[in-house]
């Protein structure tokens, strides 16, 4: 159907009544009426929207307080009751009868009359600190190297060969050899867990970077002369925040589990300290002893709770970090 012209004179209206002139303001045309978007506020809003996340986060806060604040209030001494045989391997009820009602004696006493509760959190301080330090080193090095590795073809050639050689060496074997050759202390374990621990993270980040490096906005930045490092830091890594947070959620429990495994009686490569792994290994002999099983199962349960809570909170925070969940 052909368009028909309408004679506006039939409305018997003046031009200023038919039309309204709009001021063409450059400033007003640039204004955005949509609400201001804050990425991290949106992350927190999505994360706390699930009530279960609040519960898990509260448990994590309690664990951290017991790990770092509680030992400052109550000084742990392995030999505080040493020499009094009547205080060895007391059950919870018997401990409260002897020392009075206190959370310190919730799990009774150990082989030297020490508080098992205090001993667990003293060991948790070592294990959690180890996990945090190793995660900070491996994630920082792995993410930066992996981003550059995936964006630069020259670096890709070299790093791929390094990964093919080092990546095929069993990690637990390398860690065991280093711990055996060096002194068994905190820094040795950190060195053993980080010397090649970042390589797997870097390779994972590299594969993610390859997926997005040739997108239009990155090609435009390269055409404008932007350096690879700046493109990596400004265009690529912010796009991968959710991936990085999710990866961190798997790394933290891994280091605690590795420390426990190295300290077990089967491997016996742990450090000579009251870490959770060392504590569990030392308590294996009373695992089936009537009345003393709690000395073994209490640190096992708390270690499991720490790793599970760290993983769940990290995974849920990683999901909340995905901008697609902010709609």
CATH number of the structural domain spanning residue 201? 1.10.3720.10
Q: Can you name the residues that pair with 115 across neighbouring β-strands?
A: 109
Q: Is residue 203 domain-resident?
A: yes
- Tally DSSP H helices, then E strands, for the chain: 16, 0
The pLDDT, as a whole number, for residue 70 is 93
Give the 3-state secondary structure of residue 171. helix
Q: Would you say residue 132 has pLDDT above 90?
A: yes
The pLDDT, as a whole number, for residue 225 is 83
pTM to 2 decimals? 0.81
Q: Would you say residue 224 has pLDDT above 80?
A: yes
**pLDDT confidence band for 135 (50 / 70 / 90):** very high
Mean pLDDT score of the chain, rounded to an integer?
Answer: 84
Between the CA of residue 147 and those of 93, 180, 224, what are the distances in Å? 56, 34, 20
> What are the residues whose beta carbons fall under 8 Å from the beta carbon of 12, sequence distance 6 or more?
none
Q: Is residue 1 domain-resident?
A: no
Q: Would you say residue 268 has pLDDT above 80?
A: no
CB atoms within 10 A of CB 185: 13
**Residue 52 burial by Cβ neighbours in a 10 Å radius (0-12, 13-18, 19+):** exposed
- For the segment 77-90, the average pLDDT, to the nearest whole number, is 86
Q: Would you say residue 121 has pLDDT above 80?
A: yes
Q: Is residue 26 domain-resident?
A: no
- For the segment 148-158, the average pLDDT, to the nearest whole number, is 86
Q: Is residue 65 domain-resident?
A: yes
Q: Is residue 43 domain-resident?
A: no
The pLDDT, as a whole number, for residue 154 is 86
Q: Is residue 70 domain-resident?
A: yes
The pLDDT, as a whole number, for residue 11 is 65
Q: Is residue 301 domain-resident?
A: yes
Which residue has better confidence, 36 or 193?
Answer: 193
- CA atoms within 13 Å, Cβ hemisphere of 153: 1
Q: Is residue 15 domain-resident?
A: no
Token digits of residue 115: 């508080």
Q: Would you say residue 278 has pLDDT above 60?
A: yes
Q: Using a CB cutoff of 8 Å and minimum separation of 24, what contacts does 254-260 make?
A: 255/130, 255/131, 255/134, 255/135, 255/193, 256/127, 256/128, 256/130, 256/131, 256/303, 256/306, 256/307, 256/310, 257/307, 258/172, 258/175, 258/193, 259/127, 259/130, 259/131, 259/189, 260/127, 260/303
What's CA 219's distance to the chain center, in Å?
32
Most confident of 229-233, 265-269, 270-274: 229-233
Range in 19-33, 58-72, 249-263 with the lowest mean pLDDT: 19-33
Domain that holds residue 157: 60-76+115-326
The pLDDT, as a whole number, for residue 1 is 47
Number of domains in the chain: 1
Q: Would you say residue 270 has pLDDT above 80?
A: no
Range in 27-41, 65-79, 132-146, 291-305 with the lowest mean pLDDT: 27-41
CA distance 264 to 268: 5
């Amino acid at each position: 159907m052909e368009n028909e012209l309408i004679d506006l004179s039939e409305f018997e209206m003046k031009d200023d009544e038919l039309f309204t002139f709009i001021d063409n303001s450059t400033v007003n045309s640039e204004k955005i009426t949509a609400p201001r978007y804050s990425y991290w506020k949106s992350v927190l809003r999505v994360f706390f929207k699930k009530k279960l996340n609040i519960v898990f986060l509260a448990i994590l806060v309690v664990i951290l307080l017991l790990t770092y604040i509680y030992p400052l209030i109550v000084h742990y001494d392995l030999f505080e009751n040493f020499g009094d045989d009547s205080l060895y391997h007391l059950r919870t009820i018997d401990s409260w009868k002897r020392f009075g009602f206190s959370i310190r004696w919730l799990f009774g006493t150990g082989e030297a009359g020490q508080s098992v509760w205090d001993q667990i959190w003293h060991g948790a301080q070592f294990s959690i600190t180890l996990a945090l330090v190793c995660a900070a080193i491996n994630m920082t090095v792995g993410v930066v190297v992996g981003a550059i590795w995936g964006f630069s073809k020259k670096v890709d050639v070299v790093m791929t060969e390094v990964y093919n050689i080092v990546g095929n060496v069993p990690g637990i074997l390398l860690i065991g050899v280093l711990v055996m050759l060096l002194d068994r202390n905190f820094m040795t374990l950190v060195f053993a867990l980080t010397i090649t621990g970042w390589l797997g993270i870097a390779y994972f980040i590299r594969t993610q970077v390859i997926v997005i490096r040739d997108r239009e906005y990155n090609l435009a930045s390269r055409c404008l002369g932007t350096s690879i490092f700046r493109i990596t830091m400004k265009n690529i890594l912010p796009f991968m925040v959710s991936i990085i947070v999710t990866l961190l959620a798997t790394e933290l429990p891994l280091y605690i589990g590795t420390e426990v495994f190295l300290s077990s009686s089967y491997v016996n490569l742990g450090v000579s300290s009251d870490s959770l792994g060392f504590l569990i290994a030392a308590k294996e002999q009373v695992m089936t002893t009537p009345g003393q099983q709690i000395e073994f199962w209490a640190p096992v349960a708390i270690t499991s709770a720490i790793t599970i809570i760290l993983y769940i909170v990290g995974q849920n925070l990683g999901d909340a970090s995905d901008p697609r969940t902010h709609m």
